[in-house]
Amino acid sequence: MSISNPSAASRRFEANTPFWGSGWARAWQKHPATSYLLMVVGILAFTAVAGGLYMAAQSSVMRHSGPDATELTDKVIRYGFVALLLGGFGAWYKWRHRSGHRKFFIDVTSDALTVSKRPGDVYPLSDAKLGAWGVSGGMTMGVALHLHCGGRRFVLGGRDYRVAAGTRFEAPDVGYGQSVDVDAWVTGTDFGEILTMAGRQNSQSRLAASPPAPGTPIRCLLFPSPLLIQQMGSFAFRKRQRLLHSANQPRLAIDVGPDAIRVVDPNTNALIASARVAEVTAVPETYQYRYGWGWSWEQSMASSLSKTPVLVLGLPGMQPLSIGCRDTVGGLDKRFSWPGNERQRVNDPPDFSVSGADWLTLVEKFGMAPYLQRHDQQV
């Protein structure tokens, strides 16, 4: 969100800190062996401490209450420990999530950018470069602006920002799972204003990157849904491996034009199907994963984490396309959902997954935007 500034030559923007968990992903990519070892050591240490506390509590009850109370005590201790564990994780996550979304300010002129968290640093726009911001080898979250102040680097992401086809990126990709992530991010609207200010003085500026012209088809990439792994058996190792290897490669693309859409092969551009927008049906659904019988905290957690909004598109002459979006506000909090009166896809995951920007494009194009609930308006 941009904020008015007394200086006519300067604009102030609210920025957000990087998404929670991106630092862990970078650490894992840089040092996979060390990260795995630390994870194993952490699990073993937690198991040892938890087991020790459990045995100590059970032994104490045996001494004071006798063997008849062992079974009841065992259940009380076990479920009490699980409740304490989940409550502690929930409290920590809530605190970490709030602290991770503290806003700060970015002041921009036509020549330079300054950051409230880095007083004294001035980042010239003359040598700034653009690059892609996304997930390693997969979906694109937006565009990133790379700036330098001496030896210090600052990368600003523009969430959901699109550039016109043919725009050249001179900076390396950044994002979740990459060796470098953004230091802050702003909305696509604010990012566009920043690029406009930077290119206003020089029309040949490398930052004079405009969004797609009105009427230009927008390409939405459809990736295999990672939720499909939940429907594979415990011993389906090869299927799981194939899915994980193909998860970052788009399987289909939908070119969304003003009056018609085209479904194409993203690698060859071969046409698979086409239809006028009025001929396409769009149905909102929600995917939810359930297993076993009855209720348990494991089932509740798995169902909550898997819950995903789905849009089912029906085109003449082809099977319906079930498309989900797993984009988050940050951490585990979903960015989008439907109001709750839509069809529930229990244990029937969508076939495809799209980025937040592509999800919004499809939802708006097929008239479903009034029904979509967004949970990112406050950030």
User: Helix, strand, or coil here: 249?
Assistant: coil
Quick: pLDDT tens for 354-379. 999 999 999 999 999 999 999 886 44
- Tell me the average pLDDT across 259-287: 96
Share of the chain above pLDDT 90, in %: 42
Distance, CA of 235 to CA of 341 (rounded, Å): 36
- CA separation for the pair 13, 5 (Å, rounded): 10
Written as one letter, the residue type at 124 is P
Higher pLDDT, 353 or 22: 353
Residue closest to 364 by CA, chosen among 261, 264, 270, 265: 261
- Residue 92, pLDDT > 60, answer no
Q: What would the two tokens of residue 104 be?
A: 């700060």
Show the CA angle centred on residue 259, arms to residues 321 and 273, nearest 5°: 40
Cβ neighbors of 292 (< 8 A, separation 6 or more) are 299
1 pLDDT higher than 90: no
Residue that has been written with the tokens 């991770």 in this structure: 100
106 has a pLDDT exceeding 80: yes
Tally of helices (H runs) and strands (E runs) in the chain: 7, 23
Distance, CA of 354 to CA of 142 (rounded, Å): 13
The C-alpha atoms of residue 60 and residue 48 are separated, in whole angstroms, by 18
More confident of the two residues 179 and 61 = 179
Task: For helices 297-306 and 70-100, give the axis angle rounded to 10 degrees.
Answer: 20
Mean pLDDT taken over the chain: 78
For the stretch 195-234, pLDDT in tens is 888 875 444 555 666 788 888 999 999 999 888 777 676 6
Q: Residue 345: is its pLDDT beyond 70?
A: yes
Contact yes or no for 3/12 (Cβ under 8 A): yes
CA distance 356 to 336: 9
Flag whether pLDDT at 117 surpasses 70. yes
Between 71 and 178, the higher pLDDT residue: 178
Q: Give CA–CA dist 141/256, Å, rounded.
A: 18
Distance CA 113, CA 124 (A): 6
Quote the pLDDT of residue 297. Answer: 45
pLDDT in tens, 71-88: 555 655 565 655 666 555
**Contact residues for 197 (Cβ-Cβ < 8 A; gap 6+):** 11, 108, 109, 110
Q: How many CA atoms lie within 13 A of 174 on its CB side?
A: 28
Structure confidence by residue, pLDDT tens digits, 7-21: 447 899 999 887 655
> Which CA distances in Å does 27 have to 22, 65, 191, 285?
9, 49, 28, 36
| Residue 95: pLDDT over 60 | no
What pLDDT was estimated at residue 211?
Answer: 80
- What are the b/e assignments for 269-287, b being 16+ CB within 10 Å? eeeebbbeeeebebebbbb
How would you class 216 by CB atoms within 10 Å of its CB: exposed for 0-12, middle for 13-18, buried for 19 or more? middle
If you average pLDDT over residues 173-185, what whole number do you get? 82
Between 71 and 314, the more confident residue is 314
Taking residues 119-127, report their average pLDDT.
92
Name which of 180, 167, 149 is nearest 206 in CA terms: 167
Q: How far apart are CA 265 and CA 85, in angstroms?
A: 47
> Domain segments of the chain: what residues?
2-15+102-199, 24-100, 218-374
Q: Is the pLDDT of residue 113 over 70?
A: yes
Pairing of strands 11-15, 104-108: antiparallel
Q: What is the C-alpha to C-alpha distance for residues 53 and 45, in angstroms, rounded to an integer?
A: 12
With 90 as the cut, is the pLDDT of residue 3 above it?
no
Residue 52, pLDDT > 90, answer no
pLDDT digit string (tens) for 28-42? Answer: 444 444 544 555 566
- Residue in 363, 345, 349 with CA at minimum distance from that of residue 247: 349
Structure tokens at 375: 């949970």
